[in-house]
Structure 1
């Protein structure tokens, strides 16, 4: 039985529901990451005993499932764009924005699909965007390719944000601090391609980098999509 199939406990002695549990867990995770979330800590936030929560959830993993599904409600766009590229682009950017609001989400992305109603709705919107453009196996490979890019790009961006928070150094500060070492290594002549990238490459912000990479992936997907014969 999944957490979404579990019935609500009848006649609780004190008002408590799944929405309150999810809201408390989200608040804890947004404040301190996944390590700040446990059944005991959520119960304390709600001024309830931990055993009260076990009527709604059986484990911390189920709590995480509920949290991820709640964030998927933020990812699902209010309207589905008609163009498949725009539909996938909107979903990708909304996923990135949700991950930046809830940094812990990146640790739970890319695993098994979420089976909650909001997660299933996002999956449905993703598949529906490509419906009829190719056979189902091609569609699934296309969705998997876009998802792999989005998850990887978000993880890279969040890793940099976490490094900034852990060290207290912004990206620019880190570059200044590590610059002398990098220049010394480049001066050896052992890294000509890297030297060209450092001296001649154009630096772009994370949002522009994400958007550009996404467009390249969508270009590759477009090359594989062929409308089946009617």
Structure 2
């Protein structure tokens, strides 16, 4: 029995049934021990979830060596995305634990330290690096909160708005009627999730690259 074995079992249970399927009782049953045996290694559910987050973040590829900052950041973020796609429950747990804690978990801290180091080694100022972290947000960990994620992908394409709404909202109407969606997408029924993720990521990285060559600051000069 070890903390690593407990966390591995918890991750397996979450992969099978989501984070809500994880409990000390189910972990102990899977390991063939009494629940109290787990508490010698994991004090409570919060510590268990934090450990699961760190176990997932620990699967992200290390930074590429001998390459420029931009492809290094891109590769690392896309590696993070592949890890989270393999563990669909993880984004919600990462978000919840981030809100619940006063500081990130150790593995997340290590990851962020490494990413900041890539930006700084690439010549980005501390100011631009600070703004880069805000702009990239959760994309740094391989996922993003989509504007329509609560309703997208749950049904057929939306019907065109009725005439009175189409007249009031012509641009929305144009968008809704022009794009054909497929089912099962996070971004929207039929949008290519990976393309949309990389599209936004490349826009941000291109912008950071431009700013790094134009004074290396995103903060306007005060008059």
How far the C-alpha of 1:151 sits from its partner, in A, is 6.4
With normalisation by structure 1, the TM-score equals 0.73
Q: Could you tell me how far apart the structure 2 residues matched to 1:158 and 1:188 are?
A: 20
Q: Could you tell me how far apart the structure 2 residues matched to 1:96 and 1:39 are?
A: 28
Q: Structure 2: 5+ residue runs without aligned partners?
A: 182-190, 218-223
Pairing 1:43–2:28 present: yes
Q: Would the aligned equivalents of 2:63 and 2:76 in 1 still touch at CA under 8 Å?
A: no
Q: Secondary structure at 1:57's aligned position in 2?
A: coil
Q: Could you tell me how far apart the structure 1 residues matched to 2:143 and 2:178 are?
A: 23
Q: Would the aligned equivalents of 2:91 and 2:143 in 1 still touch at CA under 8 Å?
A: no
1:64–1:30: structure 2 CA closer, same or farther, 3 Å change rule? same
Structure 2 equivalent of residue 143 of structure 1: 133
1:43–1:208: structure 2 CA closer, same or farther, 3 Å change rule? same
Q: Could you tell me how far apart the structure 1 residues matched to 2:33 and 2:197 are?
A: 42
Structure 1 segment 34-183 matched on structure 2, within 5 A: 34-77=19-62, 79-80=64-65, 82-110=67-95, 111=98, 114-116=104-106, 118-132=107-121, 133-149=123-139, 154-156=144-146, 159=149, 164=153, 169=155, 174-175=156-157, 178-179=158-159, 182-183=160-161
Structure 2 equivalent of residue 197 of structure 1: 175
Q: Would the aligned equivalents of 1:149 and 1:217 in 2 still touch at CA under 8 Å?
A: no
Give CA-to-partner distance per residue, 1:30-64, whole Å, 9 cap, x none. 11111111222211211111111111111111111
Q: Would the aligned equivalents of 1:82 and 1:129 in 2 still touch at CA under 8 Å?
A: no
1:97–1:199: structure 2 CA closer, same or farther, 3 Å change rule? same
Q: Would the aligned equivalents of 1:88 and 1:129 in 2 still touch at CA under 8 Å?
A: yes
How far the C-alpha of 1:73 sits from its partner, in A, is 1.9
How far the C-alpha of 1:21 sits from its partner, in A, is 0.2
Q: CA RMSD in A?
A: 3.1
Q: Could you tell me how far apart the structure 2 residues matched to 1:63 and 1:45 are?
A: 15
Structure 1 segment 205-224 matched on structure 2, within 5 A: 205-224=192-211
Q: Secondary structure at 1:82's aligned position in 2?
A: coil
How far the C-alpha of 1:147 sits from its partner, in A, is 2.5
